[in-house]
Amino acid sequence: LANINECDYPDIYPCYGHCRNTHGGYDCQCPLGFKGNASKPNGCEDIDEREHPEEYPCSGICTNIPGTFHCQCPDGTYRDPLMKQGCISATTTKKTFTGGGGHGVVYKGILDLQVVAINKSKIVVQREIDDFINEVAILSQINHRNVVKLIGCCLETEVLSLVYELISNGTLDHHLHFEGPMLLSWDDRTRIAHEVARALSYLHSSASMPIYHRDIKSSNILIDDNLTTKVSDFGASRYIPIDKTGLTTAVQGTIGYLDR
Ligand SMILES: *[C@@H]1O[C@H](CO)[C@@H](O)[C@H](O)[C@H]1NC(C)=O
């Protein structure tokens, strides 16, 4: 007696889904994302995943597609829409410890088909103008994979703005201190620490003139989609001529707020 494979004889053993030989019988199942009777023509119907949130979680906007579903964070938020509370706000107000309060608001924009972050100053005070110009001067000198890239700036209008490559995965501060959908592994943490150290080492000793950031903290360290580190916010940084090293390198910020 030979075991026949029913799946080879659809005329006798009809199956309109996935047919599987089960030694002595056969099994006919609807494709993934469909339910019903696969032995009947048109017996499989699409599962509307939106009706089964426990099985198909989506904390963003859920769209049903034949065989699957699409889940997306609402406009202005990003991260992992498949996780509970996985969408977090993309517009973040920057914090500085310089005593002056908010440094500006960061917007997402599109410039020459590239997605960019635009840091727009809130109130134009001389100190802020100085910080922005300082940042342009410093960042335009730096080309390092672990330092955020400055694409352009607009210093002529009433509202100053700096345009950067968009680093869309939030700040290290956020990854470390907020209950997020994705916990950083220890491997990632040590790699991020190493990348920050590499960027600082470059700034201190490989740039044409040593640059001291002076405000390194986790909220100034951005993380991109590949969890690559990007040091940002050079508003407080300074060029230090080599013969003056040690003179004006005092750390900015409030003791107690600085990350250890
Ligand atoms: C599925 O459809 C086939 C063909 O119409 C029928 O013979 C079979 O009993 C159905 N199975 C179920 C579980 O309804």
If you take atom 4 of ligand 1, which residue's CA is the nearest one? 40
Distance from the alpha carbon of residue 152 to the mean position of ligand 1, in angstroms? 66
CATH of 105-239, one of 3.40.50.1100, 3.40.50.720, 1.10.510.10, 3.40.1370.10: 1.10.510.10
- Write out the chain's pLDDT in tens, 260 residues: 667 889 999 999 999 999 998 888 899 999 999 999 999 999 999 999 999 998 898 989 999 999 999 998 888 777 778 888 778 776 543 433 627 334 567 788 888 778 888 887 765 567 667 777 777 888 888 889 999 888 888 877 677 788 888 888 888 888 887 665 567 888 999 999 999 999 989 888 877 777 888 778 888 888 888 889 999 887 766 666 555 555 444 555 544 444 43
Which atom of ligand 1 is found nearest the CA of 14? 4
List the catalytic residue out of 27, 187, 215, 233. 215
Distance from the alpha carbon of residue 39 to the mean position of ligand 1, in angstroms? 6
> Could you confirm whether 187 is annotated as catalytic?
no
pLDDT of residue 242: 54
pTM: 0.52
Distance CA 133, CA 233 (A): 12
What is the number of other CB atoms lying within 10 angstroms of the CB of residue 52? 11
pLDDT of residue 138: 80
| H or E segment and range at residue 77 | strand 77-79
Give the pair of three-digit tokens for residue 75. Answer: 């406009």
- CATH dotted code for 49-89: 2.10.25
